[in-house]
């Protein structure tokens, strides 16, 4: 494994960014392994000579930050600017107490690493989450009611809703998209008193902890509907195709004693049809409530469209008085890295980022369908960072020597490519800063290509998203789901590098931390015509990074 040097040292963690339709993944032929003790003892003196002025992550420094194999947390005696003892590990009531903390360390430790959130979940949301947990425990996999529902599913038909009704999430595209759609599917289940179950393929295994106490959200492997991941827009059981064939009709919502399909497949990916988009109409929602099983596949964060369904309006207002906190609250409630992932996150943070007084995250995504030259993108990043005072200018006239007590600012770069890291690192290594600060630049991975169907890649990507969410300031690339997840978990309003066609300015500040719904419907269900959905209500408007997208604002 090749080592990637930064100003601070030699370690490298191979991870991923986001892909064309999702997030960037890493190369399967490389493994991410911490530097072994023996190797460090052999090569550390040589590295010290080579890197000269670089700060050295020596064993003394590791001890000084209290690094421990068990948790990766600092000791109380550390002089580093480390997080204090947990003040609110339950995140204002979002998280339920009583979990075995050792089984999922990140559940209660994430709060130690991220900036304190100024957003408090509403008491109504907290109450609804506790009620949902009780429902999930009653109806979850392998319970008596679940087994009864499975028998109904096997019968090939249904006659209406059951005591337990389900939304089965089907993964699609890369990890960033998957995370966004898990949150979307959960909110939809919450609004309709349904239980969310995840179809977890091998590439997604051991990434996320179970979020609900004393039960599981993983769909059992003996689920009777097979080949879920092959479902697509032409699948006969899709909502749109069933509407077209007359198998279901939205006016069935008024009828009693119906014979309905055993399940309906909701195809909500970017290529969904006009009939599939009727899903977001109120009469469709009322009809679908009669189905005990809904199978859902999407690569879109479709939450903003739920806020345009009139019957959900009051419930959503009570759940989220601050509209732009949906992903922030539900993401921190649902999405906890497993101990495998969390170990990677905390080890990397401790060794490279812990001593900086401020951390700037820079997430770079170059899309194949919207190419941009390396120099153009690099100039955008540098111009944005300097114009907005995120990073200091350098003194080109004289090298300068930083003071012994100079403050350090850490820059975490996440991208597939090594060139951006190299340029930024060299700029701050070869020149002093105008402010006297010391700038350390770090890049966990530079895979040069992407893959999205390997577990190891997704583990690294999830670790990298969490590291970005620890930033004090975040710069993201327009339309990147990878950046959306990081900003939402961190409660950050990022500086957005625009798409090539929109580059009249270096960057613009996001006014909402919510993700963007890239492929929203434009059909007005009551007016029976296309309308501008970004002008219907004040809190659902067009995205800063995609004119045709929709997102939530306060």
Q: Kindly report, residue by residue over 259-311, the tens digit of the pLDDT.
A: 899 999 999 999 999 999 999 999 999 999 999 999 999 999 999 999 999 99
Higher-confidence position of 6 and 339: 339
Q: What is the pTM of this model?
A: 0.85
Which of 186-190, 296-300, 414-418, 548-552 comes out lowest in average pLDDT? 414-418
Q: What is the distance between the alpha carbons of residues 166 and 146, in angstroms, rounded to a whole number? A: 9
The answer on pLDDT for 396 being more than 60 is: yes
Q: Kindly report, residue by residue over 61-75, the tens digit of the pLDDT.
A: 223 333 233 333 333
- Of 58-67, 439-448, 520-529, give the range with the top mean pLDDT: 520-529
- List Cβ neighbours of 256 (8 Å cut-off, separation of 6 or more): none
The answer on pLDDT for 481 being more than 70 is: yes
The pLDDT of residue 125: 98
Q: CA Rg, the chain, in Å?
A: 24
The pLDDT of residue 442: 95
Find the length of the chain: 554
User: SS3 for 330-374, per residue?
Assistant: HHHHHCCECHHHHHHHHHHHHHHHCCCCEEEEEECCCECCECCCH
Nearest by Cα to 364 from 453, 520, 460, 495? 495
Higher-confidence position of 285 and 554: 285
Vertex 493: Cα angle to 490 and 498 (nearest 5): 120
The total of other beta-carbon atoms located within 10 Å of residue 426's CB is 12
The answer on pLDDT for 499 being more than 70 is: yes
Tokens of 522: 């434009």
- Range(s) of the chain covered by CATH 3.40.50.11350: 355-513
Cβ 441 vs Cβ 411: under 8 Å: yes
Q: What is the dihedral of CA 304, 371, 16, 95, to 10 degrees?
A: -10
The pLDDT of residue 51: 35
Q: What is the distance between the alpha carbons of residues 467 and 438, in angstroms, rounded to a whole number? A: 21
User: SS3 for 192-242, per residue?
Assistant: CCCEEEECCCHHHCCCECCCCCCCCCECCCCCCCCCHHHCCCCCCCEHHHH
Q: Kindly report, residue by residue over 177-208, the tens digit of the pLDDT.
A: 999 999 999 999 999 999 999 999 999 999 99
The pLDDT of residue 403: 81
Mean residue pLDDT of the chain comes to: 84
Higher-confidence position of 446 and 45: 446
The answer on pLDDT for 19 being more than 50 is: no
Q: Which residues pair with 267 in a beta bridge?
A: 297
Q: Kindly report, residue by residue over 305-334, the tens digit of the pLDDT.
A: 999 999 999 999 999 999 999 999 999 999
At residue 502 the predicted structure's pLDDT band, cuts being 50, 70 and 90, is: low
Directed axis angle between helix 455-469 and helix 339-348, to 10°?
50
CATH topology of domain 355-513: Rossmann fold (3.40.50)
Nearest by Cα to 522 from 511, 512, 533? 533
* pLDDT average, residue stretch 15-20: 40
The pLDDT of residue 257: 74
Half-sphere exposure for 31 (CA within 13 Å, toward CB): 3
* pLDDT average, residue stretch 411-433: 90
Q: Which residues pair with 275 in a beta bridge?
A: none
The pLDDT of residue 405: 87
At residue 52 the predicted structure's pLDDT band, cuts being 50, 70 and 90, is: very low
Tell the residue number behind the tokens 């319970």, with chain if given. Answer: 143
Nearest by Cα to 487 from 408, 544, 446? 544
Q: What is the distance between the alpha carbons of residues 209 and 215, in angstroms, rounded to a whole number? A: 11
Tokens of 421: 């890291």
At residue 446 the predicted structure's pLDDT band, cuts being 50, 70 and 90, is: low
Which of 135-139, 172-176, 502-506 comes out lowest in average pLDDT? 502-506
The answer on pLDDT for 42 being more than 70 is: no
């Amino acid at each position: 494994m090749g080592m990637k040097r930064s100003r601070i040292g030699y370690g490298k963690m191979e991870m991923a960014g986001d892909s064309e339709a999702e997030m960037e993944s890493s190369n399967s032929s490389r493994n991410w392994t911490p530097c072994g003790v023996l190797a460090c003892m052999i090569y550390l003196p040589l590295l010290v000579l080579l890197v000269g002025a670089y700060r050295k992550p020596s064993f003394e420094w590791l001890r000084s930050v209290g690094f421990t194999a068990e948790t990766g947390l600092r000791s109380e005696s550390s002089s580093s600017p480390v997080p204090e003892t947990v003040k609110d590990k339950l995140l204002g009531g979002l998280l339920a107490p009583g979990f075995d903390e050792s089984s999922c360390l990140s559940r209660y430790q994430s709060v130690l690493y991220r900036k304190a959130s100024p957003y408090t979940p509403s008491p109504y949301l907290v109450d609804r989450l506790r009620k949902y947990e009780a429902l999930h425990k009653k109806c979850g996999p392998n319970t008596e009611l679940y087994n009864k529902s499975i028998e109904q599913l096997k019968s090939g038909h249904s006659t209406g809703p059951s005591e337990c009704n389900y939304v089965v999430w089907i993964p699609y595209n890369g990890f960033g998209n998957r995370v966004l759609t898990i949150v979307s599917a959960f909110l939809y289940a919450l609004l309709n008193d349904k239980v969310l179950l995840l179809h977890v393929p091998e590439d997604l295994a051991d990434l996320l902890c179970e979020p609900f106490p004393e039960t599981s959200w993983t769909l059992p492997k003996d689920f009777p509907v097979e080949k879920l991941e092959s479902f697509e827009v032409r699948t006969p059981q899709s909502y749109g195709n069933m509407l077209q064939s007359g198998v279901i009709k939205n006016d069935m919502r008024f009828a009693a004693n119906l014979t309905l399909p055993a399940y309906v497949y909701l195809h909500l990916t970017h290529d969904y049809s006009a009939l599939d988009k009727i899903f977001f109409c109120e009469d469709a929602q009322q009809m679908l409530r009669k189905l005990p099983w809904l199978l859902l596949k999407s690569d879109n964060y479709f939450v903003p469209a739920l806020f345009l369904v009139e019957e959900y309006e009051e419930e959503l207002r009570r759940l989220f008085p601050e509209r732009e906190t949906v992903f922030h609250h539900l993401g921190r409630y649902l999405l906890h890295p497993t101990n495998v992932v969390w170990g990677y996150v905390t080890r990397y943070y401790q060794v490279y980022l812990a001593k900086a007084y401020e951390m700037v995250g820079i997430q770079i995504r170059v899309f194949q369908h919207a190419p941009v030259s390396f120099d153009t993108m690099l100039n955008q990043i540098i111009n944005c960072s300097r114009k907005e005072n995120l990073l200091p200018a350098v003194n080109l006239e004289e090298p300068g020597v930083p003071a012994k007590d100079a403050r350090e600012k850490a820059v975490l770069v996440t991208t597939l490519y090594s060139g951006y890291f190299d340029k930024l690192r060299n700029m701050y290594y070869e020149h002093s800063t105008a402010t006297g600060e010391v700038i350390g630049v770090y890049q966990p991975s530079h895979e040069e290509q992407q893959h999205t169907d390997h577990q190891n890649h997704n583990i690294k990507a999830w670790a990298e998203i969490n590291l970005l969410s620890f930033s004090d300031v975040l710069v993201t690339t327009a339309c990147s789901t990878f950046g959306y997840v990081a900003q939402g978990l961190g409660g950050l309003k990022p500086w957005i590098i625009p798409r090539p066609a929109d580059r009249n300015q270096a960057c613009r500040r996001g006014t909402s931390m919510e993700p963007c719904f890239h492929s929203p419907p434009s059909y007005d269900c009551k007016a029976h015509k296309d309308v501008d959905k970004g002008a219907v209500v004040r809190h659902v408007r067009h995205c800063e990074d995609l004119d045709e997208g929709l997102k939530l604002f306060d």
